Chains A and B, each alone.
Chain A
Amino acid sequence: MATVSFKLNGKSVELDVDEARTLLWVLRTDLALTGVKYGCGEGLCGACTVLVNGEAVLSCQTSIQDIRGTEVVTIEGLAQDGDLHPVQQAFIHRDALQCGFCTPGMILKACSVLSENSQPTQDEIIAAMDDNLCRCGSHVRIVEAVQAAARLMKGGKRG
């Protein structure tokens, strides 16, 4: 057991945990943030994606000790003061989801893509999102939503 502190959705968190445990299960059980999903447990599907220091990270492949001192954002922390993030807005606007299980991971991955490249081409979005799986087949709309979010964010709202 060790003490691990980091920032989670804007707030400081200090935990006494077994350092070898993964970020995924600490978030889902100890911290009750269930928006992050288990889909494969081996870093093959992207359902467990969260942002660590603004970058998309597979939480099922990340041990809790590796996030010491970092800033973690989960889907629950993406909206600010009740305002949805442009990517969230675009997913709603484009109906870019079906069952919704891959959605938190898709959205956070898209945020990370857009923070690196604010105006990606369609091909760049596809390449960047390729490891996030969706079984319902909402891919076409997810790509459109990311493009739409990029346009929304160009207006300078957030990014």
Chain B
Amino acid sequence: MKDPDHLASPPPYPASSSQMTRREFFKRMGLLGGGIVVYMSVGDPSSWAEQPTDFNAFLRVGADGRIACFTGKIEMGQGIITSLAQMLADELFVPLASVDMVMGDTLVCPYDRGTFGSLTTKYFGATLRQAAAEARAVLIQMAAEKLNAPPDQLNVHDGQVIDSLNTNQRVTYAELTEGKIVERRLKQSVSPLPAYRHTISGKATRRTDAGQKVTGEARFTGDIRLPGMLYAKILRPPAHGATLRSINLERAEKVKGVKIIRDGDLIATLHKYPDEAQKALENIDVEWEEPELKVDNRNIFDHLVHSAPPAEIITQSGSMEAGLNLAAHTFESVYLNHYVAHAPMEPHTAVVQIEDQKATVWASTQTPFRAQQEVARTLGFEPRQVHVMTPFVGGGFGGKTRNQQVIEAARLARLSRKPVQVAWTRKEEFFYDAFRPAAVIKVRSGLDRDFRMVYWDYDNYFAGSRSSKPFYDIPHRRVSARGGWMGDGSQAHPFPVGAWRGPGSNTNVFAMESQIDVMAAAAHADPLTFRLSHLKDKRMRNVLNAAAEKFGHRFAAAPSRRGLGIACTDYQGTYVATMAQVKVDESSGAVRVQRVVCAQDTGEVINPEGVRLQIEGCVTMGMGYVLREEIRFRGGKILDENFDTYELPRFSWLPKIETVLVDNSDIPPQGCGEPAITPMGAVIANAVYDAVGVRVYELPMTPARIKRAILKHS
């Protein structure tokens, strides 16, 4: 598949153009005041092949003894500002408080493709540990020379190197670096510490950014203020594909202090106050030619099935024919999910300042290096003439990878010759969001006479194939996919679609784990035992058992009328089992999720509190797409423009959420920003079935859809 299903990423950019030369790198380090520079010998995970292999990431031991960690990753709430610092502090034997995180700054941070896919801890974290281990070895080597003692006689503790035979003999990292740049290559490779030696990783640690975030000190892109800066508001079409028929700027020009810019398709009002710019924009008289409306959120699924490209086989084993022959009972289902918005609380924002032959950019983005490339291309600059900084990002969820607002700000900054801030309104945020794609999954599955799963034929339209390979023992199976989560170049979607927290997986786990329950019910088996009897994977069995223990209820063949549900998945190396209890109001169709238990094995846990926070966030956010969130549209016209019609989860929806972290420090840390959101569709659908004996195959399971399903059933 063209869709890079192994990474929730935008189309890749050539990495080479953003790699720094060594000399350039040292020049930059000089700017920062020196320190020890440690080259990381990057482990080269195969899925990471397009990363530059030299200084993929690095750190600096400053003259003041503080440790700066440079990462192209960004902080958008997921908590890596804390967990990466924990990993680094552990390896260098320094207090967590002495680590400064420098994130998403293209001038000083190593190239990075972007922050998405729950990849930071798993890949960058491993690289960082390796670098820190090498830094430690370098510091020991330097201390050995200074203290005139053999390296193996030296220990590190609290930012110092200490002679173990004479503990008065010691030297701090700061004394060793003396502000100099020291480039050393290690002759022998060193290894990061084994998990059992970690003292900071593994310990519940409060977010290090909380202090700034509770006082208003935390800066987001929209909080950047520059002398002479103008706020720009851009004229938007009423629908995707609409073209300008006529425009009259007369009334808009009357707004005092406004500057109007027209450059081809870009028409904008600029003002020193954003609200005045908005007022001017609203005074533009404009007529649009709107394309004919054909597809909408009601007929979208038929449209998708008809416009799908040919199927690609994702996995296949056994024989479909043999499986079908063995199947004494077959089950055919079609699962649907609608378009879903990212809707981060912070809309897309960018600030661009152009001076001489240099552009300085602040952007709310998950892909600062991609933004650097794009701004360079827009302005006709080399990437090195563009410096992108990423302040705190107010939520991303996969939606802040495209940087349209950055390009707009760059164009307007050039045309106006002023620093420009572009901050989208909520309406623009809904209109230009690259939604999670609407998708269709057709499944045909079969049980043999002993009610064992023998047959699985799974056809995926436009969800993306992640998490679509069954992890159960099913001898005859085939999984195919048509189109990916970015549409795979087909023109099937009437607007852009893209990666959304747990891309592909939310849809696939909903379909797979619902279908498993369909078969468990037909086998008159309880859904936990049915799963366990088809599972060999130890990690999956462990999370299921851990969740069941915490959940406390004994599952019975559904529908047991108790509203208990179960779903599990493996997401890119993290295992999740979720159990839920729901109450369904049969007259209104409304679902009340009362309790959710989620057990997760994410390998070594760096920050237990951070992992729990991510799981709770996944469970809460997940209820949105499962119960309410659906983009309504007609053709290219997006009908949902704000939170009045597009409902996000609220306090009043809250179930009791309990998390179980299954200890597994034998395995390196895996990602945890996304996994727990992916079983939410199935766990609630299965619980609803258990409650009322009716299965809902379409997400979101709005009260109206549940009511309809109940009526149809009775």
Contact = CB atoms under 8 A, between A and B. Distances in A.
Interface of A: 21-22, 25, 28-30, 32-42, 44-45, 47, 74-76, 78-79, 84, 88, 91-93, 95, 97-104, 107, 125-127, 129-143
Contacts of A135: 343-345, 395, 397, 621, 648
Given A88-B214, A95-B207, A99-B392, A44 B223 contact: no
Contacts of A45: 345, 426, 643
B654 A140 contact: yes
Contacts of A93: 206
B587 interface: no
A101 B214 contact: no
**In the complex, the 10 A-B pairs of residues with the closest C-beta atoms, listed nearest first:** A35-B216, A137-B620, A99-B77, A101-B394, A98-B77, A100-B213, A137-B617, A34-B223, A75-B216, A44-B643
Given A25-B274, A98-B78, A99-B345, A130 B216 contact: no
Contacts of B657: 140
Contacts of B426: 39-42, 45
Most buried by B among A32, A78, A103, A143: A103
Majority SS at the chain A contact face: loop
B101 to A, nearest CB: 15
B209 interface: yes
A39 B654 contact: no
B222 A34 contact: yes
Given A22-B275, A92-B211, A135-B397, A44 B617 contact: no
Contacts of B644: 42, 44
Given A99-B76, A138-B616, 9 more contacts: A21-B275, A38-B347, A47-B345, A95-B609, A97-B213, A101-B346, A130-B651, A137-B618, A137-B621
Interface string B396-438: 0100000000000000000000000001011000000000000
B214 A136 contact: no
A126 B651 contact: yes
Given A97-B207, A99-B76, A99-B344, A33 B216 contact: yes
Contacts of B207: 92, 95, 97
Nearest to A122: B654
Contacts of A75: 214-216
B490 interface: no
B273 A25 contact: yes
B222 A139 contact: no
A79 B343 contact: no
B225 A101 contact: no
A133 B216 contact: no
A91 B76 CA distance: 18
B619 interface: yes
Nearest to B273: A29
B621 A95 contact: no
B654 A139 contact: yes
Interface in B219-278: 219-220, 222-223, 225, 231, 272-276
B210 interface: yes
A102 B214 CA distance: 10
B342 to A, nearest CB: 8
Contacts of B273: 21, 25, 29-30
Interface in B606-660: 609-610, 613, 616-621, 642-644, 648-652, 654, 657
A100 B394 contact: yes
Given A39-B426, A133-B345, A91 B621 contact: no
B114 interface: no
A136 to B, nearest CB: 5
A40 B206 contact: no
A119 B565 CA distance: 35
A35 B274 CA distance: 16
Contacts of A139: 620, 649-651, 654
26 contacts: A21-B276, A29-B272, A33-B216, A34-B216, A34-B225, A37-B345, A38-B222, A41-B425, A44-B643, A44-B644, A75-B216, A91-B214, A95-B206, A95-B613, A100-B212, A101-B346, A126-B654, A127-B651, A130-B651, A135-B395, A136-B395, A136-B621, A137-B617, A139-B651, A141-B616, A143-B651
Contact of B274 (A29, A39, A99): A29
A132 B650 CA distance: 8
B1 interface: no
Contacts of A137: 616-621, 649
B78 A101 contact: no
Contacts of B219: 34
Contact of A133 (B77, B215, B650): B650
B322 interface: no
Contacts of B78: 98
Given A42-B426, A137-B619, A137-B649, A37 B346 contact: yes
Interface in B461-491: none
A36 B215 CA distance: 10
Contacts of A84: 214-215
A113 to B, nearest CB: 11
B117 interface: no
Contacts of B217: 35
Nearest to B82: A95
A127 B651 CA distance: 8
A79 B423 CA distance: 29
Contacts of B423: 38
B711 interface: no
A91 B275 CA distance: 31
B300 interface: no
Contacts of A25: 273-275
A74 B275 CA distance: 20
B395 to A, nearest CB: 4
B691 interface: no
A99 to B, nearest CB: 3
Contacts of B613: 95, 98, 138, 141
A25 B215 CA distance: 19
A44 B642 contact: yes
Contacts of B272: 29
Given A41-B426, A95-B207, A97-B207, A138 B617 contact: yes
B116 to A, nearest CB: 15
Contact of B79 (A39, A98, A126): A98
B606 to A, nearest CB: 14
Contacts of B231: 29
A4 to B, nearest CB: 15
A140 B395 CA distance: 18
A101 B211 contact: no
A21 B274 CA distance: 10
Contacts of A42: 426, 642-644
Contact of B616 (A32, A130, A140): A140
A88 B651 contact: no
A143 B275 contact: no
A133 to B, nearest CB: 5
